[in-house]
Amino acid sequence: MRKRPAVLSFLAVTLFAIGQPMAQAQSANGAGTSTQSQTQSNTPPAQTAPPAASSSSVQVISTYHRPSAREKFRSYAFDSFGPYAFAGSAVAGAVMQAESPSKLQSGSPPDWGQGWDSYGVRVASNFGINLITQSSRYTMGTIFREDTIYYRCECSGFTHRLEHALISTVTARKGEDGHRVFSFPALSAPYAGTEAAALLWYPNRFDAMDGFRMGNYNLALQAAYNVALEFVWGGPHTFLGRHHVPIVSSAAGMGPKN
């Protein structure tokens, strides 16, 4: 029984002897770390190069939600049969009604004459052009696997928002990340609508060149339509507001490519 206290005393002394150098080593390391930290704290941080894209842009791109078939149809229905489609057709019909190609004839085309009946024909014609335009845009967008829905800008400032609306006229979203690309469907759809009008229901003297000429005006009308979606009311597009890309990343094409 007397050996047990002796053994315990021996173990205690041994552990103390082993632990003492370790404690000194840790103390030395700690002092070095403290000295290094003080030295580092006195050294000014090196300037780093600005990232290629801001963190806010990366966060917005990473939260992009690719629309479902139901969301696409809802957006197509609004663009084709919504209030902007009727208002735009009515305004365009009034402008065509007031045009004067010559002193003897008025209206565009003059073959349709004047009066409320002629105005109704012009409104119906513009509505048909817009319907074919939107149908072509969404159909070709599906073929090219592009998201042609208009997304309101998350940016602030009139100039940036206007730039976003105009750029969106000839661009679309693509891929799971929703990066912005030049869109053939968005560019060609306005010309598809006017070519159909020139070759199907306009007077026989109109041909494909007239359809192309009218397509330039239709493209400008689509840009004005996007401006209305941006500044007036976004319709069903608004519910996707949290997934919109800022104008900086849209214009600079900062999203990754497929």
* Least confident piece of the model among 68-77, 224-233, 247-256: 247-256
CA distance linking residue 41 with residue 34, whole number of Å? 10
* Coil vs helix vs strand at 102: coil
- Please tell me the pTM assigned to this model: 0.68
DSSP H/E element including 173: strand 171-174
Q: Mean pLDDT, the chain, as a whole number?
A: 77
Write the single-letter amino acid at 116: W
- State residue 244's pLDDT score: 39
Query: Distances in Å between the alpha carbon of 224 and those of 79, 167, 169, 171, 220?
Result: 13, 12, 9, 15, 6
Compute the average pLDDT of residues 90-102: 88
Q: Is the predicted pLDDT of residue 50 greater than 60, yes or no?
A: no
Among the listed residues 122, 57, 75, the one whose alpha carbon sits nearest the alpha carbon of residue 96: 122
Q: What percent of the chain shows pLDDT beyond 70? A: 65
Alpha helices by DSSP H, listed for the chain, are 3-42, 55-62, 69-81, 83-98, 116-143, 158-167, 184-200, 208-231, 247-252
Per-residue pLDDT, averaged over 80-87, amounts to 95
Q: Which residue has the higher pLDDT, 8 or 224?
A: 224
Of residues 48 and 75, the one with the higher pLDDT is 75
**Average pLDDT of the residues in 19-26:** 46
Q: What is the pLDDT of residue 235?
A: 73
The dihedral region occupied by 147, where left means phi > 0, alpha psi between -120 and 50, and beta the remainder, is: beta
| Lowest-confidence pick of 14-18, 218-222, 250-254 | 250-254
